[in-house]
Amino acid sequence: MRTLLPLLLALTGACASAGGGTRPAQAPAPAAPAAAPATATPESTSVARLQYPSTYTRHPNPPVLIRNATIMTATGQETPNGSILLKDGRIVAVGAKLDAPTDAVVVDGTGKYVTPGLIDDHSHLGVYAAPGTDAESDGNEATNPVTAEVWAEHSFWPQDPQIPLAIAGGITTIQALPGSANLIGGRSAILKLIPARTVQEMKFPGARYGLKMACGENPKRVYGRKGGPSTRMGNMAGYRAAFIQAESYRRKWDAWNKDHKGDPPERNLRSESLAEVLRGTMYVQNHCYRADEMAQMLDLGHEFGFKIRSFHHAVESYKIADLLAKEGTSVSVWADWWGFKEEAMDGIQQNAALNQQAGGRPIIHSDDPGGIQRLNQEAAKAMYAGQRSGILITRDQALRWITANPAWALGLDSIVGTLEPGKMADVVVWSGDPFSVYSKAVQVYNDGWLVYDRNDPARRPRTDFELGQEPAPGSDR
């Protein structure tokens, strides 16, 4: 602790993001890279070229057979004394008894639990990096209420010392979001959480971007004395104006893309991002606390023909859980945060459970460099809070809150988020029940690569920032 007091996170604006999505959820294949029209033409220039492409490559790792462990697949199965085989970055098989290929590393999972790699769909790692000085404050381009043109990946610092801490908590994929100062804060970065020199090496191949939007207090506070918006109705007008421009922009480009006749329209980065939302190829990730405001944002989506993929923070989502379930919009919530600002006053511990009960798609997110290290604990708190209140939440459902459901919110649920043959080998081995406060991730595999091993000092990544520091005696990271 730094003081006898909490940091006023709410005031930093780092803690709220917006979202909104486009397509209904059906196992979205990884989408085409961002904004570029499909056809490159000789006369076209920047827009026809690859836009900041992923250079991610899988790290080699021998095949791994984990056996005698409790396997929690996030598809409804929890199998004691089970095995799982990983090879070439894929899950090959999950079963009671599996044979190890001759070159496989065999991990004795006795007493241990295996889950999919955890996914945090709301993180500011890398954009609000530690040690937290102004020099690392790269999450809010708070110069205009609409900055759809900025991309979180262009702020992301791969040497953020918070990254290895999150890896040690079993996180394998994050959505790094711009902050919530702006109505439209910019594009998110969907990243494999691995040590890397560049953000390009972390970009989840094929992942579609998210667009961060924010409701409520933060934009009002930041812009109220800087030309507005200063009210919630001003917020709404701001979103609408931006999407009206984007509609026109999209029409021009769609027309030109048909036959490439004449000069292409001039690029406008802001409208380019928003046009992707209108086309359904970029997901809206919407920071929004109050139930009544979420209902307004759903109507905004109706007006412009897009769906909001996830409401983030959504502390009042339990009040409209039926509506959200009907709309197919997920909610990315905390287990128990509340009270740091007025729009967070009605947070309750049963929020995720009530959304589950209503047939919705709850996600436990962190929005916090501490919470991301204990996403399993946060899911546990939310699950047991529901159970104690008489809401039947299964362990599988709660596991999905931090695996399959955030995978869906990012459009990656056909690739990650469950333990099924063919899926990417993002796998965590836990020292015990992942819903126990006493359990820790002991091994983390990202795309089949053993990126963290609590029992092997050589397998505990450290950032450049941490070099020269003395590890604590007995430290397992």
Which stretches of the chain bind other proteins, using CB under 8 A? 1-8, 10-11, 130-133, 161-162, 165, 217, 318-322, 336-342, 345-350, 354, 358, 369-370, 373-374, 377, 380-381, 383-384, 388-389, 391, 435-440, 465-466, 469-470, 472-475, 477
Beta pairing partners, 211: 187, 284
Report yes or no: 197 and 176 within 8 Å, Cβ to Cβ.
no
The nearest distance, CB 36 to other proteins, in angstroms, is 38
Given the complex with other proteins, which of 52 and 340 has the nearer CB atom?
340
Given the complex with other proteins, which of 281 and 329 has the nearer CB atom?
329
Given the complex with other proteins, which of 374 and 423 has the nearer CB atom?
374
Given the complex with other proteins, which of 256 and 384 has the nearer CB atom?
384
Tokens representing 145? Answer: 């209420």
Given the complex with other proteins, which of 287 and 341 has the nearer CB atom?
341
User: Each residue of 418-441: b (16+ CB within 10 Å) or e?
Assistant: bbeeebbbbbbbbbebbbeeebbb
Given the complex with other proteins, which of 350 and 414 has the nearer CB atom?
350
User: Each residue of 143-157: b (16+ CB within 10 Å) or e?
Assistant: ebbbbbbbbbbebbb
Q: How far apart are CA 207 and CA 38, in angstroms?
A: 17
Tokens representing 327? Answer: 């709309």
How many C-beta atoms surround the C-beta of residue 95 within 10 A? 13
Longest dimension (CA), the chain: 68
CA distances from 151 to 154, 213, 223, 237, 452 (A): 6, 13, 21, 23, 29
The nearest distance, CB 312 to other proteins, in angstroms, is 18
Phi–psi pair at 222, nearest 5 degrees: -75, -40
The nearest distance, CB 105 to other proteins, in angstroms, is 26
How many C-beta atoms surround the C-beta of residue 359 within 10 A? 11
Given the complex with other proteins, which of 10 and 194 has the nearer CB atom?
10
How many C-beta atoms surround the C-beta of residue 171 within 10 A? 29
The nearest distance, CB 348 to other proteins, in angstroms, is 5
Q: How far apart are CA 242 and CA 148, in angstroms?
A: 9
The nearest distance, CB 300 to other proteins, in angstroms, is 22
The nearest distance, CB 295 to other proteins, in angstroms, is 13
Given the complex with other proteins, which of 212 and 220 has the nearer CB atom?
220
Tokens representing 375? Answer: 């996403």
The nearest distance, CB 1 to other proteins, in angstroms, is 3
- CB within 8 A of 183, min separation 6: which ones? 145, 146, 213, 214, 219, 229, 235, 238, 239, 242
Residue keyed to tokens 């104006």: 241
Q: How far apart are CA 230 and CA 95, in angstroms?
A: 57
Which 3 state secondary structure label does DSSP give 309? strand
Given the complex with other proteins, which of 131 and 305 has the nearer CB atom?
131
The nearest distance, CB 175 to other proteins, in angstroms, is 20
The nearest distance, CB 89 to other proteins, in angstroms, is 30
Given the complex with other proteins, which of 152 and 320 has the nearer CB atom?
320
The nearest distance, CB 469 to other proteins, in angstroms, is 6
